[in-house]
Chains A and B, each alone.
Chain A
Amino acid sequence: MSVNTSSHTERRIVFLIIFLAVMVPLIFPIGWGSEVSPIARMSYDLIDETPAGKYGLISFDYEASTITELQPMAVAQIEHAWSKGQKIIATALWPQGPQMAEASFAEAKRNPAYADKEYGVDYVNLGYKVGGIVTLQAMGSSIRDVYPKDSSGKNWDDLPMLKGIRTLKDLAWVSSLSSGVPGLKEWVMIAHDVHNVPVTGGTTAVSAPGFLPYVNDQKQLHGLLGGLKAASEYEMLIDKKGPATTKMDAQSVAHIVILLLITLGNITAFRRKRAKANLTGGQNA
């Protein structure tokens, strides 16, 4: 009983320390810098090297629970593509995706440089479709057949920017911001591996290690943004001090605190083990 109580108390102290480690830097930012990783730069380069007037597709394959990590990526990619004169098509394989897309476009338009971007001319939100990989397979034949209307009910033919679009092959790049299945993996399977359309994407940090093998010589993925850190890297690349950048101080401090706690826990466990061994040795003697 006493061990349990002590363990519970220790856990609560750890929770409190982590809470403070996150909250204090949010209120009093430190301004620590961060380096851009090669795979985040690959993702940036794909959009950066695409000529003006081309079409990019961002698939919003996440919901509200992961907006902290994925929304900053969406906003940064939208601003980057607009800054290069590209047009953006938003789709979603998750039901809340269209709302995420709407919020991201609204956030990007708050930047005065993009306030004049017009719906139907510079961007469209086609909305959610059920079906995952089957939907993507159908988009390979005709995007119009899958999305005869946009998320607000407007007909495909009434959206001027979609006139040049028929299939996935008409896209210059695809980016899936994904927090699970269906998501980035399905886009790699269909858009890249079948139709040879360059695919990049962003995932929550939990999913990122599973996608790293796709960033390979075969270019199954053109770079990857994994978690809040990669979102802040993308913001650095487009020279923006956005929401991901401001949260990185809290992330870094929390990581240092966790490292210290792991070290402290190991030292304590080691000392206890040694004390127990000494006690057993003494009793045997």
Chain B
Amino acid sequence: MPDLMNTIGIWLAAFFTFCIFSFLYRDNPFYKLAEQIFVGLSAGYGLIYVVYSTMVPNLFAKLSQDFSGNLILLIPFALGLMMLTRIYPKTQWISRYPISIVIGTSAAISVMRSLKTDLLLQVGATIINPFQGSTASEISGNLLVIIGTLCGVYFFYFSKKQEGLAKIPSKIGVYFLMVSFGATFGYTVMARISLLIGRLEFLRKDWLHIIN
């Protein structure tokens, strides 16, 4: 029985892979079918998984086992119920309270952490002795980091018109940004080809059993 289910699974996966690939020819009902099934399944899977992996063990099970010992859990329970009031237009204002708590908490944690991770430590990583490297490539790499960071940030300085000599670092900053965009594009191409390789590998190996 597991083998049969596995085989059906592989054939379904192959069918939906071809449905998605069919979009390369033109938009068609098979593509739309696969797209909508994917969206529906992902949402359903996510919901059920969160219910059984988070809400049941962390809330319902604890409340049902030892209610008086877990009274504090009534707070998230009430907040959760308040979220559900969005279903009716007349009561949806109530859901703003739990949403504001979630957004406030997340923003507070993220701002604190981002300040250190993305600003202080990143600035610290740029304050380096460019000549500390042992090889020419390390030294030139350090210089590039310093020049690239300063010129790149300067490009986004808008309080004074950038003309004459002041335009030079801005121009250098643009070149650094263009190199960065080029690298990002290259990585994106690599990622997309990897996805294609993954699908073709599946068709070749799991579906058609063409193994080297």
Contacts and interface: CB of A to CB of B under 8 A. Distances in A.
Q: Do A and B come from one complex?
A: yes
A29 B210 CA distance: 13
B113 A133 contact: yes
B105 A209 contact: no
B197 A206 contact: no
B128 A208 contact: no
Interface string A111-149: 000000000000000011110011001000000000011
A208 B212 contact: no
A227 interface: yes
Interface in B59-104: none
Contacts of B57: 148-149
A217 B190 contact: no
Interface string B122-135: 10110010000000
Interface in A212-262: 213, 216-218, 220, 226-229, 247, 250-251, 254-255, 258
B145 to A, nearest CB: 8
A205 B121 contact: no
Nearest to A65: B195
B189 A258 contact: yes
Interface in B185-212: 187-191, 193-198, 200-201, 204, 210, 212
Contacts of B39: none
B117 interface: yes
Interface in A246-284: 247, 250-251, 254-255, 258
B117 A189 contact: yes
A69 B106 CA distance: 30
Interface in A29-73: 29, 65-69
A106 interface: no
Interface of A is mostly: helix
Interface stretch (B44-52, B155-163, B167-175): B44-52
B50 A193 contact: no
B184 A27 contact: no
A125 B122 CA distance: 33
B187 A26 contact: no
A167 to B, nearest CB: 17
Interface stretch (A15-23, A78-86, A156-164): A15-23
A26 B200 contact: yes
Given A149-B57, A206-B191, A130 B200 contact: no
A218 B121 contact: yes
B6 interface: no
5 contacts: A22-B196, A95-B49, A133-B109, A133-B113, A247-B194
Q: Which 5 A-B pairs have the closest CB atoms?
A: A68-B198, A216-B125, A205-B191, A205-B190, A189-B113
Interface of A: 8, 12, 15, 18-19, 22-23, 26-27, 29, 65-69, 95, 127-130, 133-134, 137, 148-149, 185, 188-190, 193-194, 204-206, 208-209, 213, 216-218, 220, 226-229, 247, 250-251, 254-255, 258
